[in-house]
Amino acid sequence: MPVRLILVSMPWALADRPSIQLGSLKAYVTRAFGSAVHAEAAHPYLDVERVLDRSLYRRLAERSWLGEAVYAALLYPERTAACAGLFSKYWPRSEGSPAFEEICRKIKDFHDNMPLWRDLEKAHLVGFSVCFAQLASSLFLARALKERFPGVRTVFGGSLVSGVLGKSLMEAFPWIDFIISGEGEKPLVNLVSRLFSLHGGSETDSMQGSRDSFQTVQRQEGRGVPKPEDEKRPTGPGALGTLRREGVRPWGPGIFFRREDNSVDGGGWSQITNLDGAPLPDYGDFFREAQNGGDARTPIFTIPVESSRGCWWHTAREDRPHKRACRFCNLNVQWRGYRSKAPHRVAQELAALADEHKSLHFVFVDNALNPAAVAETTQAIQRSGKDFHLFGEVRLPLSRHEVRALRLAGFREIQAGIEALSDGLLRRMGKGTRVIHNVAWMRHCEEYGIENRSNLILEFPGSTPQDVHETLDVLRAVRVYRPLKGVRFWLGEGSPMALDPESYGLKGIGNHPHYAVLFPEEIFRRTRFMVKAFRGDRLRQRRLWQPVRDFLRGWHREDAVFRNRTGGEKPRLGYLDGGTFLLIRRRDRHGRVETTYRLSGPSREIYLSCLDAKPLDVLQKEHGRFSSEGLRRFLDDMVAKGLLFRHREWILSLAVEEGVKKFLA
Ligand code: SF4
């Protein structure tokens, strides 16, 4: 009988896509053990979305405290009133809060009788992928599972349970048997191998394929079947009691486990060195579930892919939190180092998944696409000839040419790490970028029709009035582009700032008080959670950043009117090139041309030479026939008219090309 492994992704995963964590783990485990392990991916969030209705589910999935409040009330019914209070605090006031208890009742009724129980009953090991807003829901189902079937083993993994968080959660919740810290593939294979005495875990390193072996490294059945002597050993839940009595086994790196005295030990990490050797994610179970649900909607889903893990900018470690890294970022607690796939492998993966699932809509889940491979990867994707609609995250700077290449490959939405529009703030954040890079990015996105989904961090601790003034000045200049999303600074476990709070004037670091609403007092006190509370200059920051918040609100309103009127087809500030002259047109919020400027001869040349940001001294050299005084006067005039952006001796033309010539090589 094969070992039955069920991998579960609970609400509030986005329901328009499968879980890449489950798809990747299932493929990896299946390749490691073949028919000796029956791995299955389960996505109860699809059913919960049906139970609640799609728009309500999405609202809850988008704000983590909303979703966590619902499952915390199911986990601890005596806390329902407090959770309802937290829920209404985060539900937009203008929309009238939906009945919290009704939502809880519907979800509980569903879980009590869900068809998945039939599979869970037969499972030997159940794994929970615990990422954004999936903590309370995973704890809820894991506890219910243990109550019904105490012999089943549970393992948690994912970004919300990595490192110290994992150890601490395991100490607090006895229904978690193991936690995988960091990347899941190798530790999970190790765990299955050792729990059920299967051969296969030790072979995972040798299973890495070369960059040319994509076809041959896909799912290979039949590997790692039990050796003859293993077949006599009992496997499955019945065997686990024996393991306990035999004492603790070495579980390998990346796994937290319980000792006989119930203390939690282990940890560390173990990750794949060559991502090209990992198999293609297996999304078959998700698509079967989606179809079986009798959903009337056209089953075209967004498909997650990854081209890299970790972040190439982040080299900080716990003992060196000031090493190169964005100080607020804790996305890297799961990873060590940066690994990326070969460009042709990325393109093959997209094409294979598109053909298999008949969808062209993909999201790259990378922290940051590999900048060194942008040209090669985008060309390889283009060669597939498919009309992809891609979303990805990048780190700046990127040139106009690179942004064009991304668009031609199919990137329609991109989130870049803008975060701030003040050089002082960017420096203190450790971004390693400048305001001019951020503005150039916004410009290029506008030009090539890429939806810029970047954030502006508000209330960053220690921000000065000068930082905020500079931010407002820059915002006024870029108001002709798609607006940024303002997000209030939050402190995450494991970020360089949380590891070294004094350097940022932060005191009293502890769990965010909302966890005291979600969990009983004792658990709140002795468990570490992801979002941290801190003291510092919070009130001052809130007041300081209010004008920016107001500006963003107005900008969003104005942009919505403009895009509505123009269908998003025209830029607010665009130019047409007449060969010897340029026509620059500024449109009002209703899409009407309100001003036209004509630049002829050398003025046109200067303007066109600054479509990528350029240092002033380079510009002066390039246009040496102008006196520096004459050039400066011209630039001053263009800046005053809002046609050029100048920042610390860098120059950028703000108008974007309206014609299609920009897409030609
Ligand atoms: S914010 Fe982005 S670029 Fe910065 S360390 Fe995190 S993942 Fe890397």
Identify which of 306, 309, 329, 394 to mutate to test ligand 1's pocket (most ligand atoms within 8 A of the CB). Answer: 329
Amino acid (1-letter code) at residue 363: V
Atom of ligand 1 nearest to the CA of 395: 3
476 CA from centroid of ligand 1 (Å):
26
- Classify residue 527 as left (phi > 0), alpha (psi -120 to 50) or beta: beta
For the stretch 360-377, pLDDT in tens is 999 999 999 999 999 999
329 CA from centroid of ligand 1 (Å):
6
Contact in structure between 443 and 656 (CB atoms under 8 Å): yes
The whole-number pLDDT of residue 294 equals 66
Identify which of 313, 454, 490 to mutate to test ligand 1's pocket (most ligand atoms within 8 A of the CB). Answer: 313
Query: In terms of DSSP bridges, do strands 451-452 and 411-416 run parallel, antiparallel, or are they unpaired?
Result: parallel
Residue with tokens 């959660």: 169
Question: Who wins on pLDDT, 650 or 323?
Answer: 650
183 CA from centroid of ligand 1 (Å):
18
Nearest CA to ligand 1 atom 6: 329
∠ CA 478-483-485, rounded to 5°: 130
Nearest CA to ligand 1 atom 8: 311
313 CA from centroid of ligand 1 (Å):
6
The whole-number pLDDT of residue 214 equals 35
- Classify residue 591 as left (phi > 0), alpha (psi -120 to 50) or beta: left
DSSP at 528: -
Atom of ligand 1 nearest to the CA of 328: 1
Atom of ligand 1 nearest to the CA of 314: 5
548 CA from centroid of ligand 1 (Å):
23
367 CA from centroid of ligand 1 (Å):
7
Residue with tokens 């009117």: 561
Indicate the class that CATH gives domain 573-663: mainly alpha
pLDDT at 207 exceeding the cut of 70: no
Residues with CB under 6 A from ligand 1: 311, 313-314, 325-326, 329, 331, 367-368, 395, 417
The residues near 525 (Cβ < 8 Å, ≥ 6 apart) are none
For the stretch 224-269, pLDDT in tens is 323 323 333 333 333 443 344 334 457 899 999 999 999 999 999 9
The whole-number pLDDT of residue 249 equals 52
When the pLDDT of each residue in the chain is averaged and rounded to a whole number, the result is: 91
496 CA from centroid of ligand 1 (Å):
11
Residues 65 and 95: their CA atoms lie apart, in Å, by 17
Location of each CATH 3.20.20.70 domain in the chain:
302-499+538-566
The whole-number pLDDT of residue 355 equals 97
635 CA from centroid of ligand 1 (Å):
34
Contact in structure between 310 and 319 (CB atoms under 8 Å): no
pLDDT at 212 exceeding the cut of 90: no
Contact in structure between 225 and 36 (CB atoms under 8 Å): yes
Tell me, what's the ipTM?
0.99
The residues near 66 (Cβ < 8 Å, ≥ 6 apart) are 59, 60, 87, 90, 91
Atom of ligand 1 nearest to the CA of 419: 1
Say yes or no: domain 3-47+106-277 is CATH 3.40.50.460. no
The whole-number pLDDT of residue 246 equals 36
What are the residues facing 390 on neighbouring strands?
A: 362, 411
Location of each CATH 3.40.50.2300 domain in the chain:
3-47+106-277
Contact in structure between 33 and 223 (CB atoms under 8 Å): yes
Location of each CATH 1.10.10 domain in the chain:
573-663
The whole-number pLDDT of residue 235 equals 38
Residues 441 and 445: their CA atoms lie apart, in Å, by 6
333 CA from centroid of ligand 1 (Å):
11
For the stretch 142-179, pLDDT in tens is 999 999 999 999 999 999 999 999 999 999 999 999 99
Nearest CA to ligand 1 atom 7: 367
CATH of 302-499+538-566, picked from 3.30.413.10, 3.40.50.150, 3.20.20.70, 3.30.70.1400, is: 3.20.20.70
552 CA from centroid of ligand 1 (Å):
23
Mean pLDDT is lowest, of 27-31, 153-157, 318-322, 346-350, for 318-322
Atom of ligand 1 nearest to the CA of 311: 8
For the stretch 549-577, pLDDT in tens is 999 999 999 999 999 999 988 999 999 99
